[in-house]
Structure 1
Amino acid sequence: MAQVTYPCYWQKKDASGHWYWIYYASNGKAIARSSESYVAYDDCQRSVEILKASSLSAVFYDN
């Protein structure tokens, strides 16, 4: 098994056998989790790919 490096996404199965991801920051702490679980691994993987591709998206905030 490969050595885990941070930051990273970790894909796991929940108690019902559905896939979800957790994002770990560079300090190894979990800071985000998928808002839903996925029946298919590929759907979970696609969710991670969408997030990674949005890293250059604008950030908006309230004053």
Structure 2
Amino acid sequence: MAGNFELYKDAAGKYRFRLKASNGQVIATGEAYESKASALKGIESVRKNAGDAALEDQTA
């Protein structure tokens, strides 16, 4: 089973999303958005760009 995005409103009334793995663990969170449409665009951006994203190791 694939993970899923959850879209919700925070305590300040802003829209946010989180990406959960199939085991229910949160693996990514989005910033606060003023509108639902903007949050949905954020989700689409993650879907579109994350698959081919390079790893930038900043630990060294």
TM (norm. structure 1) is 0.77
Aligned to 1:37: 32
Cα offset, 1:55, TM superposition: 3.3
Residue-pair matches, total? 58
Maintained 8 Å contact 1:6/1:27: no
TM (norm. structure 2) is 0.80
Alignment of structure 1 residues 1-63 onto 2, 5 Å:
6-34=2-30, 36-62=31-57
What amino acid is aligned across from residue 47 of structure 2 in structure 1? K
Structure 2 runs not aligned, ≥5 long: none
Cα 1:25/1:57, change in 2 over 3 Å = same
Cα 1:6/1:16, change in 2 over 3 Å = same
Paired-residue identity, %: 26
What amino acid is aligned across from residue 36 of structure 2 in structure 1? Y
Structure 1 runs not aligned, ≥5 long: none
Cα 1:41/1:58, change in 2 over 3 Å = closer
The CA RMSD measured in Å over matched residues stands at 1.9
